Structure 1
Amino acid sequence: MALSRSIDRLISGRITPEMAADPHAAILPTPIAGDSFFDAPDQDLSPGALVRHRDATGWFPRPRTRLRQFMVGSTDALGRPVPVTATLMEPRRPWRGSGPRPVIVHNVAIDSLGTRSTPSCRIVHGVGQDFPTVVPLWLQRGYAVLIPDHQGPRMAYAEGTMAGHAVLNSIRGLVALDSSYATSPTALYGYSGGAIATAWAAQLHPSYAPELVLRGAVAGGSPVDVGLLRGTMNGTLGAGLFGAAIIGMAREHPTLVEQFSPTGIVLASMIKDLSVVPLALSGLARLRLERLSVDPGVFESAAARAVIEANTPGADAPVVPVAFYHGAAVPRFADRWIPEQGVLNLVDAWRGRGADVEYRPVFGDHFVGALSGLPFAMRWIDARFRDG
């Protein structure tokens, strides 16, 4: 509480007239500068429409891998047209398997608020972010790896519909870019923040992009229930990332910004371009987000409950096989940040709607489980590509 009062005093009076007039604009990220590839287009943004593309290189040479990047039309959480970008990584050696080269849609755990943390920017202008480090293993198998920038142009961290649309339109954009992938077996993978994009893409696939033929989706450490995360992250060492997720969702749902106090708006504007590491470290403050709202009971407000409901999957079900794994095999060493119960609830909801869902508890907390569950995830994907 004393720390909260100190923050209030520190930023008191720093809200500008511009922030007060348009608090939603105040929390949006700064666009990427110095690379015109990421500039907002003024052309057709219908879902799947290819806007631009390029061959790319990065700071580190990748002599065995070709990089191609593209921008494609998509829709945000409220159905408005937006551009999304993606990177395709292809082994230069020919595919030796039967049929066309498989595609793994690898949804990176971006978990950031700043645009320069989006994977396509990091791959070209920095060090790629990938935990656990799986991309080299996919490439070693000869798979093409499609990495969507699933948080979209507003870096809407944790917003499921935005992410699901971005993933599905990235697959459409890949086919528009290179028709040789039109019949490629394709599967989705993601861990933690990437699991949000994977689960939502799987759920939205039948209604939003039914023409896409997918083999399946596997997700680990899945934060699929925001309500449960409130109990494990709000006011704890996880508060930095939990707060960032609330900002990410508010970027797609402006009504949520109306619940921010002046202190909350200023603080959100101060951290709006941060990447995952400083956001995680800010959890040392152990802030309770109610302290940054105009309403002490904000999580029970109509605005918050609507956003939480909109970001809790389960209302519809995938039509492709899905697998989840989660740090829960040994309760004493289970995932303390992302409760297993959220995944179990989703598994039950999807199975109740007839979906083919497998669940595998694995050893370790959120970070150890990322590694201990990796062999299961890779075997599961390999089987989808092998057996069809």
Structure 2
Amino acid sequence: MTTAAADPLYPSPDPDPFFAPPSDLATKAPGDVVRTRRIDTGPYVGTEGWQVAFRSTNSGGRPILAVTTVLLPVGVQNPPLVSYQALINSLGTKCNPSRSLFNGELQDGVGAMLPIGRGWAISLPDYLGPNVAYGAAKLSGMVTLDSVRAVQRAKEIGLTNSPVAIAGYSGGGMASAWAAALQPTYAPELKLAAVVAGGIPADLEQMALGLGFEPHPGFGLAFAAAMGLEREYPQRLPISAQLNNTGLWFRDFTHDECRRFLLFHGALRNADQLAASKSLMDSREAREVLYENSLRRFSGTPTAPMYIWQGIYDSLTPFDSVKEVADRYCHAGTPLTFVPYDIAEHMTTAVAGFADAWNYVESRFHNDPVPVRC
């Protein structure tokens, strides 16, 4: 059964009270710790774990409760900290790293452990916020920055003075790149040793127009991003009101699901099957929401050392928009290394680029001279 057509459909809340916001949340500053707890790290041998609930901010400037999961290498004193923005690309709370690290849904869980092997601590924030607002890029940047603040403020974890790097690919690359761009104004006190980001969705309007109304293998994720943005901007982006009965059914069917489910069940569908109208992209407000979440249109520039890699022929995250962002950063003085790969398949570029990205982070942790390659 569907809900009212005009209303967004939010994820089922996590039943664990650890994820519930306190009544005084609004009195806290962004990054303030609300509660912490030790956790069993299960399959991640050689680690000890914590979860930190903290105050962050949504796209409308209102306080929200967010959570990050921290894994520390056993026996390492004062390890550097990597905030790793994982591949969430999902709509359900069970898909957030706080859950998906342990329930099998986090597909890059093994890759996320590479920093542990280098003797670094890793923090994996639920950067889509409590409503799992997939596609809300500005939100993800703010939650990422506040997660670093919170981990440093949680004295029991022992990372208060650790050097910090931020890393991610695809949706995680978008969150990482937005964190870098927002840091000078949103969290100016944070010192970031490095930011590495690849496969960045830098222009949401370009991606939406490129998808069009024809079948596309990535349609399930595109639909999920539309639903996630509606959750974050319910008044400005009323997508549910534009869906037909099939679209409303598919929305309800997928609203608590994760990346693999969304890709599988969206593979043979397209917007023409699910939309009652093709007029949404004609809406000025809808386009403004896409602009507000597109790095290509955000005027802020990072000041931290940054490494970006991107597939030249990537049909999922277009190269030209990322190249334009990189050129602007270079002209503004960002200490940037930009590495294009002659690759078309989106996830192949992740594998190709992460080794050098981690080496870049290690060099920054060692205070080596910062290279610039534009």
> In terms of mean alpha carbon deviation, does 249-258 or 217-226 score higher?
249-258
Show structure 1 runs of 4+ deviating over 6 A.
none
Question: What is aligned with 2:299?
Answer: 315
Shift of 1:212: 0.8
Q: Distance in 2 between matches of 1:167 and 1:107?
A: 8
Shift of 1:231: 4.5
Shift of 1:363: 4.5
2:328 equivalent to 1:349: yes
Q: Distance in 2 between matches of 1:262 and 1:80?
A: 32
Write the deviation string for residues 272-321 of structure 1: whole angstroms up to 9, x where unpaired. 10110111113322302x65445423213112111111011131111112
Q: Distance in 2 between matches of 1:377 and 1:161?
A: 23
2:105 equivalent to 1:122: no
Question: What is aligned with 2:20?
Answer: 39
8 Å CA contact retained: 1:66, 1:90: yes
Q: Distance in 2 between matches of 1:233 and 1:357?
A: 30
Q: Distance in 1 between matches of 2:13 and 2:119?
A: 34
Query: For structure 2, which runs of at least 5 residues remain unmatched after alignment?
Result: 369-374
2:254 equivalent to 1:242: no
8 Å CA contact retained: 1:326, 1:360: yes
Q: What amino acid sits opposite 1:146 in the alignment? A: S
Q: Distance in 2 between matches of 1:170 and 1:325?
A: 24
Identity among equivalent pairs (%): 30
Q: Distance in 2 between matches of 1:209 and 1:169?
A: 8
1:252 pairs with one of 232, 238, 242:
232
Question: What is aligned with 1:199?
Answer: 177
> In terms of mean alpha carbon deviation, does 38-47 or 165-174 score higher?
38-47
Q: Distance in 2 between matches of 1:139 and 1:310?
A: 34
Q: What amino acid sits opposite 1:101 in the alignment? A: P
SS in 1 for 2:53: strand
Question: What is aligned with 2:54?
Answer: 72
2:309 equivalent to 1:325: yes
Q: What amino acid sits opposite 1:246 in the alignment? A: A
8 Å CA contact retained: 2:309, 2:340: yes
Q: What amino acid sits opposite 2:310 in the alignment? A: H
Shift of 1:232: 4.3
Q: Distance in 2 between matches of 1:153 and 1:253?
A: 14
**Correspondences of 1:65-214 after superposition (within 5 Å):** 65-95=47-77, 100-124=78-102, 126-127=103-104, 129-131=106-108, 133-178=110-155, 180-214=158-192
Q: Structure 2 vs 1, CA of residues 285 and 130 (structure 1 numbering), >3 Å: closer, same or farther?
A: closer
Question: What is aligned with 2:371?
Answer: none
Q: Distance in 2 between matches of 1:280 and 1:237?
A: 7
**Correspondences of 1:24-35 after superposition (within 5 Å):** 24=8, 27-33=9-15, 35=16
SS in 1 for 2:52: strand
SS in 2 for 1:104: strand
